[in-house]
Amino acid sequence: HHPAVVCDLFKKYIRKPLVEKLRRERINSSIEQLKSLLGPEFLKQQPDSKLEKADILEMTVCFLRRLQQRRAVDSAAVSRGYSRCVQEVVQFMSKEEVKTQTQRKLINHFSKLQSSADHNLREADFSLLSSTVQTSSTKDKSPACSVLWRPW
C-alpha cells in the first residue's frame, strides 16, 4: 500500500468514531435540555422511575401536541369574541333612525369587519378541528400521550 493511502484510511478510521461520539453527545445534550425544560411534565408522569431517551422524546411530543391544541382553542375563542363584539357594535349603531354619512360609513366598515371576522372564525374552528383530528389520528401510532409503556 502507498503511504498516503494508508494515512488517509487511518484518518478515516480514527475520525468516524470521533464524529459518532460528537453526534451522540449532541443528542444526549438535547435530550437532557428537553428533560430540564419540561421537568414538571415528566414528574407528573412517573416521578420515581428513571426515564429513557425514548420516554423523554415521547413526553415532549405529547406536551407539544397539547400546547398546539391549546393555542388553536385560544385562537378560536379570540375570534369568536371579536366577531361578537363587531356584531354588537353594528347592531347598536343600526338602531338609530337618522344616520349621518359618518355613521353609515362606520356601519359599512363594521359590517365588512364582521364578515371578515366570521370568515376568520370559521378558519379558526377548522384549524382547531384539524389539530384535534391530527392529534387523535397520531395517538394510535404512538403511545406518547398515555402512560409510558415498559417491557418489564
What is the structure's pLDDT at 23? 96
pLDDT at 59 over 70: yes
Q: Is residue 61 part of a domain?
A: yes
Rg value, the chain, Cα:
28
Q: Mean pLDDT of all residues in the chain?
A: 76
Q: Is residue 135 part of a domain?
A: yes
d(CA 22, CA 28): 10
pLDDT at 140 over 60: no
Q: Is residue 74 part of a domain?
A: yes
pLDDT digits (tens, 9 = 90+) for 19-52: 999 999 999 999 999 988 887 766 666 666 677 8
Question: Using an 8 Å Cβ cutoff, are 135 and 65 in contact?
Answer: yes
| Residue 144: band (very low, low, confident or very high) from pLDDT cuts 50, 70, 90 | very low
Q: Is residue 64 part of a domain?
A: yes
Question: Using an 8 Å Cβ cutoff, are 83 and 117 in contact?
Answer: yes
Q: Is residue 45 part of a domain?
A: yes
Q: pTM of the prediction?
A: 0.53
For the ranges 47-51, 89-93, 129-133, the maximum mean pLDDT occurs at: 89-93
Mean local confidence (pLDDT), 111-115: 78
Among 130, 129, 93, smallest CA distance to 113 is for 93
Q: Is residue 149 part of a domain?
A: no
pLDDT at 129 over 60: no
Q: Is residue 113 part of a domain?
A: yes
Q: Is residue 105 part of a domain?
A: yes
Q: How many independent structural domains does the chain possess?
A: 1
Mean local confidence (pLDDT), 78-92: 85
The residue segments making up the domain with residue 68 are 38-139
| Residue 65: band (very low, low, confident or very high) from pLDDT cuts 50, 70, 90 | very high
Backbone φ and ψ of 151, nearest 5°: -75, -10
What is the structure's pLDDT at 152? 45
What is the structure's pLDDT at 14? 82
